[in-house]
A and B are shown apart, each in its own frame.
Chain A
Amino acid sequence: MSDQPRPPEGLEPPLPAAEPAAPEPTVEPEPEVSEAVPTAAGEPSRRGAGLLRRLLVPALSVFTALVFGAFIIVLSDPDLLALWTSDPLAAIGESLAAVGDAYAALFTGALGSPQAYLDAFASGDIDQIIAAFNPISESLLAATPLIFTGLSVALGFRAGLFNIGGEGQFYLGAMFAGFVGFSFLGLPWFIHLPLAVAVGFLGGALWGFIPGFLKARTGAHEVIVTIMLNYVAYRLLDWVLRESWYQRPGRSDPISSPVEPTAVLPPIIEGLRVHWGFVLALLAAAFVSWLLFRSTLGFEFRAVGLNPSAARYAGMNISRTLILTMAICGGLAGLAGATEILGVSKVVSPGISPGYGFDGIAVALLGGSSPIGVVLSAILFGVLRAGATPMQSATGIPIDLVVVIQALVIMFVAAPRLIREIYRIRVPETTGTEIMAQGWKS
């Protein structure tokens, strides 16, 4: 690997002679969590107030999306609608109750209820305490793949690339890691497990390498290529699951053999489902953070993202950067697939991803394309996903409400002016995505 950091000068290496060719965004040394682009409007970002202001849009976006979700809950209930026409006053109360019940079920389902924690601790029984933490475990479990795919999209954004192919890369990662997981017999776990995870990374990286290579060599837009590769990946998985070297012997339905115990990601705490993949996801976030803000390679990524012509002028190898970025993006999404297979399902079957690749876009946008932001927003979406099932069983509101809420969150985060107009406040105009390519143009 050539991504050795420069000798510790403290600051990042300066970008020599970038200024002449860079008309607007100037590259400056940035701390860990930083805005992607100095605001074009020239708003000075003060550090202390800046953090709060940066949290304002994401927070309001989530809040507004939940409010919209509340309207959807009310409007989709025929009984409530009938009540609105006959007795509006009672309908207000009933509607609020319906929405309150739904969201209460969602959040207690995802975080646990205070009463359950109190009872568990009062009993002093270790098993009960662990059981009380089950909702949080489920939320972190749901957040794990989202951290990986969110990092994948965020890293691409930083380099000016839109990786919409997380879904396909997830599939490849799952397919590769699963194959190593069930077909290599007799290895000790400390070889088998890392090998399966690494091969999962490679599978995703291969699926990310193709669009990166094509973009670097031919200018083919990565959005088109990654969309198409998503569907190729679906078909590829359908195919391998019917091949004798992949399908479980003796089965006619598309399913692989179970992953060997030596390749399984064990739970962090026995009795809860959240597994070491979550820790791996946090390590990946730390790695991406280091890569982007502390390594020469990451500096090149960001320089290419901010201004490719300036980066080229400074002697950076744009092709290499594009290919490497896409391969690492793909590898991160591949890790999501690998950890899902090795930690959760322990078997490869069709439909292993309920849209984790696309959720990664939401996570990266909400997190402002910073690794810490990605982790936090992935946990938030994990809470929504994990809480959706208890909400459905408690109140009958379908889990798909969460997908709608996610779509609305992306919309508000991507259009901060919308938030500004709704709340009549001043919000920063930047979302961390301005740097990426617009439309089909490379």
Chain B
Amino acid sequence: MSATTAAVPRSAGINRRALGLSIFYFFLAAVIMLVFVSGTSPDAQTIFVLNLGTAPIVTLPEVAVPSTMTMTLMAAVCAFCGAMQLTRAVGAKWAILLTIAMIAFISAFLTWAAAEKSMNLVGVFQTTLFRAVPITFGAFSGVLCERAGVVNIAIEGMLLSGAFASAVVASVTASPWLGVIAAVIVGGLLAWVLAILAIRYVVNQIIAGTVINLFAAGMTNFLYSRVLAGNPDLNVPPRLGPISIPILSDLPIVGPILFAGNFFVYAVFVLVVVIHFALFHTRYGLRVRSVGEHPRAADTVGINVNFTRYRNVVLGGMVAGLGGAYFTIGSTGSFEQEMTAGRGFIGLAAMIFGGWTPVGAFLASLVFGFADALQSRLSILGSAVPSEFLLMVPYIVTIIVVAGLVGRVRMPEADGTPYVKE
């Protein structure tokens, strides 16, 4: 008895959230039953294809599931999560329930969208990863800058400039690697300007970022019209094609997804590990985080606050520039005006959703990449869901997260605050 009475006054707010989540899960279950199940014929089948590529070692059979039964099962899972959330003291484990409910809902959604058709799941996941790559680079750029306390909303501009620089340099030198290097340098230069404006001239960092975005968009458009349009041979960069890792890439399911990407895909894998390790397990990372959390304290113990910030912002810009190269020499080849199309802002969203951590940012980018991949897949399948709503997912998820409606993320304490010595 004493346990319950102690718990009630402490968690009045949490209970309201638990109630909200519970209602949300029941709502998902209701959507599955009322929209998905009732809109599908009872004996429909959904076929999931699990093979991709020409000659895998093992050819997996196609999985055919009865559509309505699968969806009903998933609805039951969602309802179960709702019941758990309502009746048990779930506490900190709410995130697990949320994940289970979301996976169940997405499974039901896929089953419904591909009912009486077939969907290549491996293909969807492969596209997910490809779509997530530029977003991840952008998000890492944000993590590096903001962990040191400098807000970077110029990711979009850095991606765009990186894409432009890599296309031109790779075309001129006929070397994709020089293109990559050029993109990294240009991204770093733009970030250096951002750092100077934000740190030396104490310009509001959002304005500084806006300046860089406008400048990058204006400059690449200008140079595209003035130089590239008249000299098409400056815009035919060689591409970095896929590198299949022997044996691993022949594994069923994971092989084509993880081990048949190009340089940029592997660079993302490496960067997740490197940035995570550097930020959380090295002296460098401790310093960076201390500068981002409490610059005065960092200064007191002898850390050069502004130098640390300059260094991290430039590093962040280089990562974003690298991500920009993906748009040209990593995928389509030639540069087009404003080809990044807001990916930098999705990267920003992924960084926030991922709680300012590299691993979180990567996972968030995968979620957003999944929404993007699903959107393009569904518009091919001719689904009843307007694809525009799937494209809104990253933005709406981010708004929900920053509003703390599900669980609040914590940003670096001194993020966006210039440090002026006293």
Interface of A with B (CB < 8 Å)?
A: 72, 76-78, 162, 164, 210, 214, 217-221, 223-225, 227-232, 234-236, 238-239, 242, 355, 358, 361-362, 365, 396-398, 400-404, 406-408, 410-411, 414-415, 417-418, 433, 436, 438-441
With A228-B349, A232-B395 already in contact, the answer to whether A414 and B214 are too (CB < 8 A) is no
Cα A417 to Cα B153 with chains together (Å): 22
Chain A positions within 8 Å of B204 at CB level: 162, 414, 433, 436, 438
Cα A402 to Cα B214 with chains together (Å): 10
Closest Cβ of chain B: how far from A12's Cβ, in Å? 27
3 smallest CB-CB distances across A and B, nearest first, come from A439-B416, A403-B218, A398-B225
Q: Which of A227, A239, A400, A418 contacts B388 (CB 8 A)?
A: A239
What are some 26 contacts across the A-B interface (CB < 8 A)?
Answer: A210-B399, A218-B403, A218-B404, A223-B206, A224-B399, A225-B399, A227-B345, A227-B348, A228-B396, A235-B392, A236-B388, A236-B392, A238-B388, A358-B214, A365-B207, A403-B222, A404-B215, A404-B219, A406-B218, A408-B211, A414-B204, A438-B417, A438-B418, A439-B205, A439-B416, A439-B417
Chain B positions within 8 Å of A221 at CB level: 402
Chain A positions within 8 Å of B403 at CB level: 214, 217-218, 220, 225
Pairwise interchain contact B201-A418, C-beta atoms closer than 8 A: yes
Chain B positions within 8 Å of A210 at CB level: 399
Chain B positions within 8 Å of A410 at CB level: 207, 210-211, 214
Closest Cβ of chain A: how far from B293's Cβ, in Å? 13
Pairwise interchain contact A164-B206, C-beta atoms closer than 8 A: yes
Pairwise interchain contact B388-A228, C-beta atoms closer than 8 A: no
Pairwise interchain contact B396-A232, C-beta atoms closer than 8 A: yes
Chain A positions within 8 Å of B395 at CB level: 228-229, 231-232
Pairwise interchain contact B211-A400, C-beta atoms closer than 8 A: no
Pairwise interchain contact A414-B404, C-beta atoms closer than 8 A: no
Size range of the chain B interface in the assembly: 35 or more
Cα A365 to Cα B204 with chains together (Å): 11
Chain B positions within 8 Å of A433 at CB level: 204, 207
Does B217 interact with chain A (Cβ within 8 Å)?
yes
Chain B positions within 8 Å of A417 at CB level: 201
Pairwise interchain contact A414-B203, C-beta atoms closer than 8 A: yes
Pairwise interchain contact B222-A401, C-beta atoms closer than 8 A: yes
Does B254 interact with chain A (Cβ within 8 Å)?
no
Pairwise interchain contact A415-B405, C-beta atoms closer than 8 A: no
Pairwise interchain contact B416-A440, C-beta atoms closer than 8 A: yes
Having A235-B388, A407-B212, one finds 15 other A-B pairs with CB under 8 Å, namely A164-B206, A214-B402, A224-B402, A225-B402, A227-B345, A227-B348, A228-B349, A229-B399, A231-B342, A232-B395, A238-B388, A398-B225, A400-B218, A407-B218, A408-B215
Cα A223 to Cα B268 with chains together (Å): 28
Cα A77 to Cα B211 with chains together (Å): 24
Chain B positions within 8 Å of A164 at CB level: 206, 210
Cα A49 to Cα B214 with chains together (Å): 34
Pairwise interchain contact B221-A235, C-beta atoms closer than 8 A: no
With A414-B203, A438-B204, A440-B411 already in contact, the answer to whether A218 and B405 are too (CB < 8 A) is yes
Cα A410 to Cα B204 with chains together (Å): 11
Closest Cβ of chain A: how far from B351's Cβ, in Å? 10
Pairwise interchain contact A224-B206, C-beta atoms closer than 8 A: no
Chain A positions within 8 Å of B399 at CB level: 210, 214, 220, 224-225, 228-229
With A232-B396, A439-B415 already in contact, the answer to whether A406 and B342 are too (CB < 8 A) is no
Chain B positions within 8 Å of A76 at CB level: 222-223, 226-227
Among B214, B352, B398, chain A packs the most CB atoms within 10 A around the CB of: B214
Closest chain B residue to A168, Cβ basis: B395
